[in-house]
A and B are shown apart, each in its own frame.
Chain A
Amino acid sequence: MSNFLLLCWEFFKAGLFAVGGGLATLPFIHEMARNYNWFTEADVANMIAVSESTPGPMGVNMATFAGYKAFGIPGALAATFSLVLPSYVIIIVIAKFLDKFSENPHVMDAFYGLRPAVAGLVLAAWLSIFQIAVLTLPRFQETGVWTDLANPVAAVIFVLLLVASYRFKKIPPAAFIAAGALLGVLFL
């Protein structure tokens, strides 16, 4: 098999088996770095940093970057489309299924259990971001001083943006993200 088709196949596999969001593709990309000479482990570290620092879903960013490293622009396109293809098909099949069975009591019961679970997952995700973005737990553990619990500047920005999100309901999230970026550059 040509190397290019192999790249498509590897990203198709990642798209098929990486369950639970973009970060789940990471182990697959690490494996590719070990098994092929398309890119190195150091490239992967750089890919993670770049994918986090640029807009777009993380998994898609990683695939585009990895594909580009391997085979230039055709590689970027091939890797990204191969990654997305399995979920494209699966989601359409599920959507068809749900259209048919959304009134089925077992399906409704399944969602009755799933909805609170997702709320729990979102809260856990929020906590992990909050720890990185606002809190300074390692320093607090070292000193035990309450004022070391959070980065004061970050805490002020957080409270300001939170109050604004409730006060000014017309402002779209994009504006908050832009404001966050700007405040970050100015004060952090």
Chain B
Amino acid sequence: MKNKKSKALLLVLKNTKLNEKHFVIKVQLPKNHPEIWPGQFVEILVEGSPETFLRRPISVHDVDEKNHTLDLMIKIVGAGTEKLSFLKEGDFIDIIYPLGHGFSLARKGQKVLLAGGGCGIAPMLYLARKLKEAGAECHIAVGGKTSDDILLSNEYRKLGKTAVLTEDGSIGDKGLITAHSWFGTDLKSFSKVYVCGPDAMMKAIGQLSVNAGVYCEVSLENLMACGIGSCLCCNVSTTEGNVRACVEGPVFDVTLLKDWNHNPVCHG
């Protein structure tokens, strides 16, 4: 494996519809593909329309290193992601990968908490897999407005203890994700917290973690043009000045972030 970034036409093996808004694309990677790390992302070219001019940044959902496949979980949020939802087996997609700085792992025996809000659960599968390989003990919390936002599959359940919360109570416990005891009295017992989801959720969990003295990493979803560090459009305001979500991030130590008020804004 090489660690370079690559631009490639990759074969779509499968497009699995999860519900009205979400789907997972499985693509074939070349055997000598660059190493892909949890929390990294790819940039996909949406073919065929002047309205979807720029690539779409999509986080890595899962990697099967034995069969050389990459899974991308995508939410339909506009014209570009809608077009991607029509991809089918046998199609090719133009991808730049792997991009960005991903999550840090944990050591053997450490208890860690993974939190995903809505489609923010996407990067947590591959992360949980890698954490389990490293011997860490994963707890996975998923939150959403309604049952449509809960994309927790049995795959996650194989990797750790899971909890589900919805704001309307249509599935799991009723309430915000932070209502779970893992984010309350239990929080101190975790070595690390990983979060991806809406800003409000990441900010809330980030603050709770800081208060509990637990290290916390968040994965930001910023608007991007290039994805490789040249356009400076995806800036993140940090204690060290403006940095790029696509190179220094998208995963950041929450204590470095200042004034983040980013989503919901995306190309669609």
Chains A and B form a bound pair: no
Which B residues lie at the A interface, using CB under 8 A?
none
